[in-house]
Amino acid sequence: MMVSIRFMNMEGIYMQIRLKNLKRSYGSLHAVNGISLSIPSNLIYGIIGKSGAGKSTLVRLISLLEKPDDGEVYFDELRVDNLAKEELIRRRRRVGMIFQNFNLFSSRNAAQNVAYPLEIIGTPKGEIKARVAELLELVGLGDRGKAPISTLSGGQKQRVAIARALACNPDILFCDEATSALDPQTTHSILALLKEIQRKMGLTIVMITHQMEVVRDVCDRVAVLDDGRVVEEGPVTDIFAKPKSDVTKEFLSHLVGTDAGSEEQMVQWSSKRGAYILRFRGVTTDQPILSQITRETGIDFNIRAGGVQKVGGEVEIGTLIVDIQGSEDEQESVVARLRELGVHVEKEERS
Amino acid sequence: MSAKIWLLIWNSTLQTLSMVFFSTLFSLILGLPLGVLLFSTGEEEQGGIIPMPLLNSVLSRIVNVLRSFPFIILMILLFPLSRLLIGTSIGTAATIVPLSIAAAPFVARVIETALKEVDPGVVQAARAMGSTNFQIVRKVLIPEAMPSLVSGVALTIISLIGYSAMAGAIGGGGLGDLAIRYGYQRFRGDIMLVAVIIILVLVEIVQVVGNRLSARLLARR
């Protein structure tokens, strides 16, 4: 029993990340201002925030590129924010990272890029060759090993970067805006690849992003960052069904607005936007809630737009944008009744 | 011109070539680590991998002072060092010492500038993968900067061809010496002309080869 547990820890399959009251300032700017998070193992965890919310600093702190001013970072039970130099370098070798701009070595071809992390830990040449071929195959670039980096497309570059990040069998893969420089289709294929790799290798993936689509499509849990703090955290399906903070709601509204043309597009019946956003989740999408309320109260709804989104590829979240007829009191009672029935209601701010 | 004169020109050319070759070699040996150190200890925003502001500014000052020193005076000041290392302060071999030392700070700046052109994101990626500082320099910075480094070395060689001609004036031998002693002091304009043309041709060859090599490295990326 002991042996098997030790084996699993060495393989790092159950690597969990914990952050305790992390702080990092640059001059008077508090980039990360007291963040505590627990990132469970073996899933895809999203960290979303607008630019300047502190995402980049946070990822530099948890990927051990920078030390916090205050607070602690744990990988499992091991505290990693205060490691000595040699230990720090050894620890970084167990962590993979991909970037918005790929950051590939232009002096090396695709295969040589993937070989780099193996070279620096002194892997024998023959072993490197076999492992590189295997990794390139995994990311779907089995025949492009000899290609100079400049001849690859953005998506192919990110695939090489993913293969490079996975070379040393990391416990954790950090993706820092990994799809932000890619077009929607390429983003889609990269996300699918990451999801497949997460399942195959059982690693913990942390996705730092400003794109709610990324969170919706691949993340299991998400933390919403604003002003260097976590304003909301939870399973992605909960966040989509019941967003609490204004920042989250704003992210979701962008998603509705920008999604036209994709599969989950909102159907617009009217060019006017409704006053209320209703979000239905799971079973509530199957029930005739609106007509039930109309029957009960005699108050009508005017549906402006609506649609269904798949979150995490499984759970469906329905969204309706409506106007509610009647006086303000009547509207309030309808909203109360909707909430009773498990619908999440937001009032649109008219500006 | 007689065969004897042509032999003289040939020997001077060989002297110049050996002076330039060895002083380039030694200035690289001195300047490369210095350039890497200048870059590495620089500000983090500019890519410095081990920022050490004090050491950096001291090194930077030393490099600037050496670079602004008039070469002729530096050479005279370094006569004792040449005597110590070579046994004499006159002749081609002795001139290599001041030439190397004069060119080293130039090489250091050239290397520093080339390394600064490397995308800091790439260095960050290498660091995130657990590279040691030495690995970052040897396996990332230098290969990534290679096209600029090649251009920089070509520039160094060209400067050294110029310096070596000057060194002729104080007993260093080579084409500069020939041009002064025969061309200027004995009114042999033809010898002066030949010496100058050979120097020009040498510079041109180095420039063209350097550009081609750098371009070929870039084209392979």
CA distance B122 to chain A (A): 5
- Taking an 8 Å cut-off on Cβ atoms, the answer to whether B221 and A150 are in contact is yes
Q: Are B33 and B112 in contact (CB under 8 A)?
A: no
Position B201, amino acid = V
Separation of alpha carbons B78 and B81, rounded Å: 5
Helix axes A184-201, A154-166, angle to 10 degrees: 20
- Using DSSP's 3-state secondary structure scheme, residue A330 falls into helix
> Is the same domain home to A13 and A60?
yes
ipTM for the predicted complex comes to 0.86
In a domain, A253, yes or no: no
- Taking an 8 Å cut-off on Cβ atoms, the answer to whether B121 and A106 are in contact is no
Nearest to A58 by CA among A39, A85, A77: A39
Q: In chain A, what residues touch B45 (CB-CB under 8 Å)?
A: none
Residue B174 CB contacts under 8 Å (≥ 6 apart), including other chains: B12, B13, B15, B16, B19, B92, B95, B164, B165, B167, B168
Is the CB of residue A95 less than 8 Å away from at least one CB of chain B? yes
User: Which residue carries 């201002």 as its tokens?
Assistant: A33
Q: In chain B, what residues touch A95 (CB-CB under 8 Å)?
A: 128, 130
Q: Are A297 and A327 in contact (CB under 8 A)?
A: no
- String of DSSP letters for B91-138: SHHHHHHHHHHHHHHHHHHHHHHHHHTS-HHHHHHHHHTT--HHHIII
Q: In chain A, what residues touch B149 (CB-CB under 8 Å)?
A: none
Residue B153 pLDDT more than 50? Answer: yes
The residues in B 120-139 lying below 8 A from A, measured between CB atoms, are 121-122, 124-132, 135, 139
> Is the same domain home to A221 and A342?
no
* H or E segment to which residue A233 belongs: strand A229-235
A95, A107, A117 ranked by CB distance to B143: nearest:
A107
Position A307, amino acid = G
Separation of alpha carbons A64 and A334, rounded Å: 51
Nearest to B140 by CA among B40, B207, B44: B40
* H or E segment to which residue A204 belongs: strand A204-209
> Is the same domain home to A325 and A178?
no
Q: What is the pLDDT of residues B5-49, one digit of tens each?
A: 999 999 999 999 999 999 999 999 999 999 999 999 998 877 788
A99, A150, A168 ranked by CB distance to B125: nearest:
A99
In a domain, A330, yes or no: yes
- Once rounded to an integer, what is the mean pLDDT over residues B163-170? 83
Residue B25 CB contacts under 8 Å (≥ 6 apart), including other chains: none
> Is the same domain home to A330 and A225?
no
- Taking an 8 Å cut-off on Cβ atoms, the answer to whether B128 and A95 are in contact is yes
In a domain, A254, yes or no: no
Nearest to A256 by CA among A335, A346, A328, A194: A346
| Single residue among A200, A227, A248 that ends a domain in this structure | A248
- Taking an 8 Å cut-off on Cβ atoms, the answer to whether B221 and A107 are in contact is yes
Q: Are B76 and B154 in contact (CB under 8 A)?
A: no
What is the fold, at CATH topology level, of the domain defined by B3-219? MetI-like fold (1.10.3720)
Q: What is the pLDDT of residue A6?
A: 34
Cα angle B99-B103-B105, degrees, rounded to a multiple of 5: 140
How do beta strands A229-235 and A221-226 pair? antiparallel
Q: What is the pLDDT of residue A5?
A: 36
> Is the same domain home to A180 and A324?
no
C-alpha distances (whole Å) from A71 to each of A31, A32, A81, A120 are 14, 11, 8, 31
> Is the same domain home to A244 and A328?
no
Tokens read off for A92: 């970084």
> Is the same domain home to A189 and A290?
no
Q: What is the pLDDT of residue A52?
A: 84
**Residue ranges, chain A, pLDDT below 70:** 1-15, 256-266, 268, 270-273, 282-286, 312-314, 349-351
Boundaries of domain holding A160: 2-248
CA distance B67 to chain A (A): 31
A95, A103, A165 ranked by CB distance to B122: nearest:
A103
Residue A316 sits at φ, ψ, to 5 deg, of: -95, 135
- Taking an 8 Å cut-off on Cβ atoms, the answer to whether A89 and B130 are in contact is yes
Residue B220 CB contacts under 8 Å (≥ 6 apart), including other chains: A148
Is the CB of residue B219 less than 8 Å away from at least one CB of chain A? no
B119, B132, B221 ranked by CB distance to A89: nearest:
B132
**Beta partners for A184?**
none
Domain count, chain A: 2
CA distance B134 to chain A (A): 10
CA distance A117 to chain B (A): 6
Q: What is the pLDDT of residue B14?
A: 94
The CATH number of residue A104's host domain is 3.40.50.300
Nearest to B212 by CA among B131, B146, B150: B150
> Is the same domain home to A277 and A242?
no
| Single residue among A223, A248, A273 that ends a domain in this structure | A248
Tokens read off for B180: 């002064």
Q: What is the pLDDT of residue A3?
A: 37
Q: In chain A, what residues touch B143 (CB-CB under 8 Å)?
A: 105, 107-108
Q: In chain B, what residues touch A104 (CB-CB under 8 Å)?
A: 122, 125
- Taking an 8 Å cut-off on Cβ atoms, the answer to whether A92 and B132 are in contact is no
> Is the same domain home to A217 and A164?
yes
C-alpha distances (whole Å) from A122 to each of A115, A126, A127, B131 are 11, 12, 10, 11
**Residue B72 binned pLDDT confidence (cut-offs 50, 70, 90):** confident
The residues in A 118-157 lying below 8 A from B, measured between CB atoms, are 119-121, 148-150
> Is the same domain home to A265 and A214?
no
- What is the torsion angle, in degrees rounded to the nearest 10, for the CA atoms of residue A248, residue A254, residue A257 and residue A263? -80
The CATH number of residue A318's host domain is 3.30.70.260
Residue B95 pLDDT more than 80? Answer: yes
A90, A108, A148 ranked by CB distance to B130: nearest:
A90
What's the mean pLDDT when you consider all of chain B?
91
B128, B139, B144 ranked by CB distance to A92: nearest:
B128
Q: What is the pLDDT of residue A58?
A: 92
Q: In chain B, what residues touch A97 (CB-CB under 8 Å)?
A: 125, 128-129
Q: What is the pLDDT of residue A334?
A: 87
